[in-house]
Structure 1
């Protein structure tokens, strides 16, 4: 039986916030050209963009201590400022989308929540004060407040001060104008608008399982799914792969030189979710601590006020785990299938150079509920076991990139891969992700068009 062959000017693989954002930019730049988005699951925003699968923090460098490393006694504010600028740009894009009617209810997507950094111990307190002194000179962070005073900190985060001794050496910074963002809601609203456009097609419950470049520099994608028969093909002039953890395996099938040497290291996550409404009401902040030595940035402990589906929630975590899946709804064979001749040295090298991380993940996987509660009590000493339950968080794939010696290095940022002929692009990595979606997708448009 002959397979159906369709054509679209642009094909975006993945139904998350990145594809939704890129589709808006392409629609405005090329208003008459056809855009097709293909999503594997029955709904959009079910992986990294889904509200329970991320911290929901509008990452702007306000409270994330790993964005301001200390180097030779000085605080490097470069990344914090970069992230702040990108978030502010993305936030302006969301407001613009609301004004244009692309987003119908912005208040359902974004809520103001103070961003707080909290540390214990003399060395960490000194670091936090030094960080504050460096940041307050930058206009974006000028309203950040620093304190070592127990009573003042108690006003900011009363729940976390319950059961603490005033003799403890603690410090915190407080930034009032922080945000909690429901990236899934933004994604769903953008897609509702996109689906109403004549030249945009969203195909769900269908997956791209192969792609190859034709002699005339177009791409032929092989798709299987429920909407257009069992298997079909689509020809396009341009492909964007924005499938989160699923991007690497598909990028490898493209056989472009720019993808060679890349590997992926999957990390899963769990939250502790509060079930006691009285406890939830006592906390109104996103509080970030300092990462344990050897732990990945995505595992920086934080106790977060969230608004999910119109309901206030309180989460602590995330706790890292290991699985061979690249996506929450992926396959246990994702990691082994990603191993190829051109990236095996990268994978082995990354494992060898990140032994502390490997040990950390092994320890995290072995944690029991009582162990996780003990870690929560470092933040909230009076936490009661009966008030918390485990909630499964998302799945991330950290980039493994070949270094100059040919071995792999584990990267914790976000990276855009673009082919030399600019006909295909992919997004790899996990941080800071959706908070900078507009800036990242604007860069894709600038590089490719």
Structure 2
């Protein structure tokens, strides 16, 4: 039972925090035993595995309000965002977002857009070069903003995408967090004004577009939410797609390490970039094995118990994402990179321990409603990177990244040419 204050260790250790905390507590590396600690001046418990996931996403037992530190929550999600809501307010807001990002017809429209944008990126690489992270961030961002129906120029899109990119590169890091806050302020001002302009009629939004629905975003009382909050949620339907570029960079390094999959995906895909099962399976294994979310916090709404560990009302519960995604108790041959494990899976969201971008139920819980879009974007990039003539750098600096930095990625962005 470890009761030392761990916030400093979390900032220092990053994605290694949970494993190091278990080690300091004397818990075996493959154990799912909860670990007690102190976080932000109060008691907390660190959990992992299926039982931990089920407890963490049980909205009857856990709440999000007040659980996440402001220096992370503020720049990443924005004020008033769905991520910090509970109860009826959360349900109404979450369903409004899921109606956009989780709807199959809208996902199909995104597929077409992201394929077009990735083809543009591929054309830019031919006879030249680029970096996977920066270029896919632009492709994903343009596809997301077009999908949302934003009536703005490509130049303006790229301006806002780069702000999102800088926010993701800097939030939560003590030495650079102020940059994240600055970009959050600029993005909120831009998106809030766009919502205001749509509501006033100054800007015309296409009927049934994501933009028009966010401009009409309402609370449980049926009243319009304020323009800033609606703008925050508009971003929360688009900015996470830009973040998937980190996975694209990791996918590039994984393709270098597993060239047999390059040939296999190339053969399966032909000229297609979407709906390639082998590329999707590869993308899912990248999401399982490479670091994205280190852990998330919730607060117990009542006295409860997780894996035999008592949890008091108001106590923080920390879900170990990395440990759950790589646990040998949850995954066969967990330490190996094996996309085959996903080829026979009809719906990866049904796997309780598969939580690269959250778990639980999309509409009733806190699972990210944009997961279908994230997988679509990443698998399309995987197929693009397997095209004949595309060369991914295998240099050490393109294939390594710090596990102690959040959010992490190869510092080069992974260089590529065609």
TM-score by length of 2: 0.25
Larger radius of gyration: 1
Larger helix percent = 2
Q: Which has the higher contact order (CA 8 A, sep 6+)?
A: 2
